[in-house]
Amino acid sequence: MEPSMHSDCRRHLVQAASGSGDVYDQVETSRVLLFMFAVLIFVICLELFLHFLEHATKRKPKYADMLHKTTQELMIVGLIYLLVKFCVSTGLAKANGLVYQALDFADLLILFTVLAMVLQATVILFRLRKANRELGKISVLRTENVLANALTELNAAKQKSWVHRYVAWSKLEYQLQVKLLRCLFLRSYDLPQLFPFDKYVEDVQDSQVAHLVEIDISMWIVLMATYALFFIFSGELLSNGEFKAITPVRWWVFIGFAVSLWTLMILLLVYLRKLVQLLLQQAAKKVNIVQDGSTSWIREHRNMATPEAMAEALSHVVQYEASLPPMPPQEAIDNMRRIADELSDDSHDDHFLAHLFAHDLLCGLLGTVGRRMKRRRSPSPTTPKGKLHGVGSLHLPYFSRKLVHVLIQLLFVMNGFYYALFINCVLYLDGFNGMAVIKAALVVIPLLLNTFVVAPKITREFSIINSLFRVDAHKLSAIVEHFAEVEAMKDDMARQV
């Protein structure tokens, strides 16, 4: 009798320590061993897959950086889940209790947000890869060859339907824009013709996409506010409604959120394209196409998005490049290094808060506002070397590089968060029958359009603006050194032959 009582006491103590005795004491050791084996198999497969990804991304540092940030974010989410299990096993939270469920739902929401951001960044990279590959092919060609090939394709498309003309122009427009803006960039910063401008633009673009998988602290605060706003509009937050309640009004609230986000991203894309047009007009002025008094030319070719205006501009670029004397590769490398060093010296920031603001976009924006206010009180007579200069004054209306960057990052993060919000709070409302699946597919169309169509275009347009408007001295130096290494390898191969 007494041994039996001691046994019962020990069992109750174990149950109390676990916080869920009626659940854990029913699990057999053989079952735990079986699932331990299954988990180990999964861990081994996952590690092999990660090693494969690390090997595949060695040649592309930006992809490797993106992979590192992805695993870092997923590790944080895994630690949150470990915290949940720790609270249950130590009795701080009861299994399937309110605290446990709240922690579990919060962890799932964060997990799906991180996964959505990773998938979204991957889609953007693959959507931009084709355009970057085509740009890399024409980078070795002179402007006259690129222009001649483009005119041949456009003239052939004129004989066909308007669909063929639109497709041909949409395929060539970005390539011709980069060639024209390349002339603006090289002349503005006195760089030689051998500078690989396309590689510089692609590097800026990759850095922007790689940052998408890293959600800053300030962004998480905005996402929490958005989450609260969603349930305020559905009327559930203030009334203490259940998280998994069947509330049809959530459909309409989510549709409003998704359509509003899609509208904002479309407006941002239109604004960025307007800025690119202003840069193209500035590039036209750089090659003496547009003169201040030539109002007839401006009336006829103000819209640089037409094939005729672009062809006219590039024909002047061809004449300008033909007038330049040839420069030996080593002399070009020396000039590029000198200019990169000058820009690097100018980019050093003596403010001790710069390092604090370096990793959070919103904090960095606030730091920039503070520095600008300080400069207004004590203005400097010189213009930063890293900013675009040239013929006339270039004015990009309402443009702040960091503000637009923060806005783009915020909209992209919100798009990924809406996927997680939809999966956790909306998808289950009508069950999983055929009509519910069709309804869910229609509701997420704005998010899918943002991911597959709008976001890649925004990334491409902003990368062009960001590359020209303010030079990233560190990326410029890295591009120059890479170019110097390639030229040195060519010289070694030539000597060996």
Distance CA 463, CA 128 (A): 11
Categorise residue 303: left if φ over 0, alpha if ψ from -120 to 50, beta otherwise: beta
Residue appearing with tokens 């991180």: 114
DSSP 132-189: HHHHHHHTTS-HHHHHHHHHHHHHHHHTS-HHHHHHHHHHHHHHHHHHHHHHHHHHHT
Phi, psi of 489 (to 5 degrees): -65, -40
Q: According to the model, what pLDDT value does residue 86 have?
A: 82
Supply the DSSP symbol for 354.
T
> Would residue 263 count as lying in a domain?
yes
Written as one string, the DSSP assignment of 30-56 is HHHHHHHHHHHHHHHHHHHHHHHHHHH
The verdict on residue 453 lying in a domain is yes
The verdict on residue 394 lying in a domain is: yes
Burial 447-471 (b: 16+ CB within 10 A, else e): bebbbeebbbbbbbbbbbbbbbbeb
Could you tell me the residue range of the domain that residue 218 belongs to? 96-323+359-378+385-471
| Chain Cα centroid distance, residue 358 | 17
Whether residue 332 is contained in a domain is answered as: no
Can you tell me the distance from the alpha carbon of 214 to that of 459, in angstroms, rounded to the nearest whole number? 16
Do 154 and 309 form a contact (C-beta atoms < 8 A)?
no
Tell which residue, 461, 147, 189, has the closest CA to residue 317.
Answer: 147
DSSP 324: S
Distance, in Å, from the CA atom of 497 to the CA atom of 493, rounded to the nearest integer, reads 6
Residue closest to 465 by CA, chosen among 257, 127, 181: 181
174 found inside a domain = yes
The tokens describing 431, both together, are 């069950």
**Those residues with Cβ within 8 angstroms of residue 7's Cβ, 6 or more apart along the chain or in another chain:** none
- Give a yes or no: residue 66 inside a domain: no
Alpha-carbon distance of 8 to 25, in angstroms, equals 13
Phi, psi of 387 (to 5 degrees): -95, 150
Report the Cα–Cα distance between both ends of the chain, in Å, rounded: 96
Q: Do residues 318 and 147 make contact, with C-beta atoms less than 8 angstroms apart?
A: yes
| Joined tokens for residue 461 | 């347009």
What residues in the chain have per-residue pLDDT under 70? 1-25, 288-302, 345-362, 364, 367-368, 370-394, 497
Residue 1: what pLDDT? 46
pLDDT at position 21, please?
A: 44
Tally of domains within the chain: 1
For residue 387, list its beta bridge partners: 470
Q: Are the C-beta atoms of residues 65 and 210 closer than 8 Å to each other? A: yes
Does some domain include residue 72? no
Residue 232 lies in a domain: yes
Burial of 477 (0-12, 13-18, 19+ CB in 10 A): middle
The length of the chain in residues reads: 497
Identify the three-state secondary structure at position 468: helix
Are 471 and 139 in contact, with CB atoms under 8 Å apart? no
Strand partners, 470: 387
